[in-house]
Amino acid sequence: MEELAARQGTIKPSSGVLFARNVDGEQKSAARQRVLELFTLPQWPGHLHMLTMPGVQWRFERKLLAMRHPGWTRSPSPWRTYFTSTENDRAIFFAAVAEMPGLHTPQSSLKRIKNYPFAEMGVRTRFASLFFANIDDLMAQTSWSEGWHAVWLDYSGPLSVERLAIIRQFYRDYIKGILIITALKGRWNQATNQAIHQAGGYSNWLRNTFDGELLHDLEYFDTSPMVQFAVQKRSALWFWQ
């Protein structure tokens, strides 16, 4: 923690697209609620290892822990719920470390994670792991032995043909149950615009990419136009023991 605090005092925010993270309006909260409802105990009573993009305050992860494990802040370890998370902005990463679930719980711990080629660094508690890395670089790796039960790719920027190809491969190989994508609906490059047009629209473009049961497909406006898409594998393997 001393090393992280020392770094945090000398870093500046990146020039990336950060505006979508800074506002948590009514429509954005409603969209997050739709994701939370997919993983309540009645909907998902078993183990849940989830890949997320949390931001500074870990709002979604904390809400989900409260739903699945009431009183989790007084527990030394999680109950069937664990997060792997990434952040690619240096300032947000170091600020998020200080708010990690499990850092302020009984028997709290914070440890460095062994080096991975896609990440500059990583830390973990008993409840979550957080990598300083680009989520697309993580998904492009082929060294994951177990994968994840669910993944929420909460982008602040747009999708592209190249990005969707990475997600599709990752969905096929490493996601056992549910994929949720939230992205900026705009700022497409020419290749992406052509792919959307050929598919007959944005929703068709996503639906044609991922095999499975569509859970929801919605749009909302929260500072910028956003889209949220959720799909579940028909051959999903449920780990409820």
Residue 222: what pLDDT? 82
Domain boundaries along the sequence of the chain: 2-232
Note the Cα 154 to chain centre separation in Å.
5
Residues of the chain with pLDDT under 70: 1-24, 236-241
Pick the CATH number of 2-232 from 3.30.1370.60, 3.40.50.150, 3.30.70.260, 1.10.760.10: 3.40.50.150
* DSSP code at position 75: -
> Taking a C-beta distance cutoff of 8 angstroms, is the pair 209, 187 a contact?
no
pTM: 0.88
Please write the tens of the pLDDT for every residue from 148-191: 999 999 999 999 999 999 999 999 999 999 999 999 999 999 99
Helix, strand, coil percentages, rounded to 5, for the chain: 35, 25, 40
Residue 3: what pLDDT? 54
Residue 85: what pLDDT? 98
Note the Cα 151 to chain centre separation in Å.
6
Contacts of 95 by beta carbon, 8 Å cutoff, 6+ apart: 8, 56
- Give percent above pLDDT 90 in the chain: 79
Q: What is the DSSP string of 94-131?
A: HHHHTT-TTSSSTT---EEPPP-TTEEEEEE-SSEEEE
Residue 22: what pLDDT? 46
Residue 142: what pLDDT? 79
End-to-end CA distance of the chain: 35
Residue 12: what pLDDT? 52
DSSP, collapsed to helix, strand or coil, labels residue 232 as: strand
Nearest alpha-carbon partner for 118 in 97, 96, 140: 140
